[in-house]
Structure 1
Amino acid sequence: MESIQVCRESYARLVVGAAGSSNKRLLAAFATVERERYLGKGPWSVFGGGAYATTVSDDPRLLYQDVLVGIAPERGINNGQPSLHARCLAAVAPMPGDHVLHIGAGTGYYTAILAEMVGAGGTVIGYEIEADLAERARAALASAPNVRIVCASATQGELPASDVIYVSAGATHPLPEWLDALKIGGRLVFPMTADSGHGLMLAVSRQSAGGHAASFLSFVAFIPCIGARSDVASKALAEAMATKSPRTIRSLRRTGQPDASAWCIGDGWWLSSAGPLP
């Protein structure tokens, strides 16, 4: 019977490979972090085919698969799809020493992977609005000196200057608070979702004071990010998703009048198929 560490290493190769990444630090983080530490006692509720099913036992080796596991299934809250997160983590590429905000930390599993990637010289602040999940994340991450968990939504007020902002709940639009917190060279990835239907995972990088590159990573479905929802933005996004390919997105604009390159237009922002401003 395979040891649990062998299972972790095999799982890491599976999910990072599925993301099309060869990032060695990402691979090491998935092979190191103990997923069972963040998911509570088994048996676990695994989501697939539109419903939850209970694992056959509490053997933690069952968790090292590319599956959604419920952390609060009665509220529809899951520990997200590992291969999707591997793709997103590869896109924002946390580096040793980076300062990271994780918004929607849940019980802390991907917060822990971020902490592994930035190392002892970096920091990760995890924001989680659900008090019970924030407390579980604090307990699971108690031995990680470079992590702090805050029970808040991170959708209002000034945020710390950050190299990476990693969002794990669906927003209808890019919040100005998130964009303002990005350092030059900083990277943001977030699920941009309307009130119904699938959304897209959007990667944004701040290349200059006013220039942001943007790109589509994947179609996604996420629980809503409280405080990051707008009926008007939801409608605009749904219309864009119905009529245009998100694969054409190349930049996020915060100034200027939207032109023929506009993919989706919001209040104080628009996505464009043209390159980023200088």
Structure 2
Amino acid sequence: MVRKSGVVLEEVRRFHAQMMAVATGSPDERFERIFELVPREAFLGPGPWHIAVHPWKKSYRHRYIETPSDNPVHVNQNVLVALDRTKGINNGEPMLHAAWLGSVNPQGGEVVTHIGAGTGYYTAILSMLTLPNGRVYAFEIDERLAGQARANLAPFEDISVRHGDATVLTLPSSDLIYVNAGVVAPPVHWLESLRPGGRMIFPWRPSEDVAFAMLITRGQTEFSARPLMPAWFIPCVGASDPHLGLKVPDNAGARSIRSVWLTKDRDPDESAIAVFRDIWFSDQAVGPIAVAA
């Protein structure tokens, strides 16, 4: 065992993994094992690190405090860790991501698209969860972070990292799209890239006052939607213009959303809670999602 300043790192990492497994809300034992196996500090650069401290008003902007040393126990906790303080880019809170991962439940053999991969920590976890025979396509718009992610993920199987804007680039046909940047309205081609039964989870930020993780599941042509927990992320370049909204929901309306429609397939009706140029959100459920055999 590695002992650092009287603390056994393996014990801290194991306890952290146990907490993350509980946070998934899933009985799947893979979550604990994978959170323990993938060392978070390996994706953060050399310590000491800068931990983000939340202001009273939730935002992607934070104040930071430097860890006392480069002891990895400081980042094997449920904390935001700076990747680029000047841009407000952080490695997100593990407990939030654990809850997201439990909600989308990645499986072996699935194809995952990770938008906003940062330096690759959660990309690595997604890769491990899709073993065997899975594939992860990571997109990162920041060139420096994309380069770091590519180097960090070199030991992992079947991951490709692309530097570029995922709001305009073609996405692969995906079983899961995992978005780590705040979106006013998801681009239509993201939804169209989902396979039947595919899931997309993203931080929905249609206004300054509304910020939820949104889970969308595709049927044959229809999309069910379910708002989850609050989630604040740095805005997604290319998909975070607040003027995109033709009708913007309040918090109560956002929580009532049950389906998403493409305007090319169906015009907004009286059930519309949020309306954008190409898509709209409804408080009416679409019924059971039919998945191709």
Normalising by structure 1, what TM-score? 0.92
Question: Superposed, which structure 2 residues align to 1:194-209 within 5 Å?
Answer: 194=206, 196-208=208-220
CA distance in 2 between counterparts of 1:66 and 1:180 reads: 34
- Kindly state the Cα deviation for residue 7 of structure 1 after the two structures are TM-superposed: 1.6
Query: Secondary structure at 2:226's aligned position in 1?
Result: strand
Aligned to 1:136: 148
Which residue does 2:103 correspond to in 1? 91
- 1:262 maps to 272
Q: Secondary structure at the match of 2:250?
A: helix
Deviation track 1:45-90 (CA, whole Å, cap 9, x = no partner) reads 0011331111111101111111101011121100011111111111
Q: Aligned partners of 2:206 and 2:65: how far apart in 1?
A: 28
Match among 101, 112, 126 for residue 113 of structure 2: 101
1:42 alignment counterpart:
47
What is the identity, as a one-letter code, of the residue corresponding to 1:70? A
Q: Is the 8 A contact 1:198 1:220 kept in 2?
A: no
Q: Structure 2 vs 1, CA of residues 77 and 157 (structure 1 numbering), >3 Å: closer, same or farther?
A: closer
**CA distance in structure 1 between the partners assigned to 2:245 and 2:29 by the alignment:** 37
Give the alignment of 1:87-166 within 5 angstroms.
87-166=99-178
- C-alpha distance after superposition, 1:198-251 (max 9, x if no partner): 41110001022x1111101111211111111333335743xx125x34332211
CA distance in 2, matches of 1:202, 1:193: 10
Q: Secondary structure at the match of 1:249?
A: coil
Are the equivalent residues in 1 in contact too, given 2:113–2:178 (CA < 8 A)?
yes
List alignment gaps of at least 5 residues for structure 2.
1-5, 56-62
User: Aligned pair in 2 of structure 1 residues 235, 84: CA closer, same or farther (>3 Å)?
Assistant: farther
Q: Does the 8 Å contact 2:183/2:204 carry over to 1?
A: yes
Q: Percent identical across equivalent pairs?
A: 37
Would you say the 8 A contact 2:245–2:275 is kept in 1?
Answer: no
Q: Could you state the TM-score of these two structures normalised by the residue count of structure 2?
A: 0.88
- Counterparts of 1:236 and 1:29, CA distance in 2: 41
Match runs of 1:41-60 below 5 Å:
41-50=46-55, 51-60=63-72
Q: Specify which of 22, 26, 30 is matched with residue 27 of structure 2.
A: 22
**249-258 or 112-121, which moves further after superposition?**
249-258
Please list, as runs of the form range in 1=range in 2, the aligned pairs for 1:233-248 lying within 5 A after superposition.
Answer: 233-234=244-245, 236-237=247-248, 240-242=249-251, 244-248=252-256
1:252 is the counterpart of 2:257: no
Superposed CA RMSD = 1.7
Deviation, 1:157, is 4.0
2: CA distance, partners of 1:135 / 1:15: 28
Distance 1:234 1:73 in 2: 30
Report what 1:218 is aligned to. 229
Distance 2:11 2:131 in 1: 23
How far has the Cα of 1:164 moved from its partner?
A: 0.5
Report SS of the residue matched to 1:18. helix
Q: Residue type of the partner of 1:109?
A: Y
Runs of 4+ in 1 over 4 A off after TM superposition: none
Letter aligned with residue 139 of structure 1: A
- Residue identity matched to 2:139: Y
Q: Residue 189 of structure 2 corresponds to which residue in structure 1?
A: 177
Equivalent residue number for residue 86 of structure 2? 74
More helix by share: 1
* CA drift at 1:156: 1.3
Q: How many residue pairs align between the two structures?
A: 274
Report deviation, 1:15.
2.6
Distance 1:236 1:259, change over 3 A: closer
CA distance in 2, matches of 1:221, 1:233: 19
How far, CA to CA, are the matches of 2:186 and 2:30 in structure 1? 28
- Compute the displacement of 1:3 (Å): 2.9
Aligned counterparts of 2:72 and 2:211: Cα–Cα separation in 1: 32
Tell me how far 1:153 sits from its aligned partner: 1.7
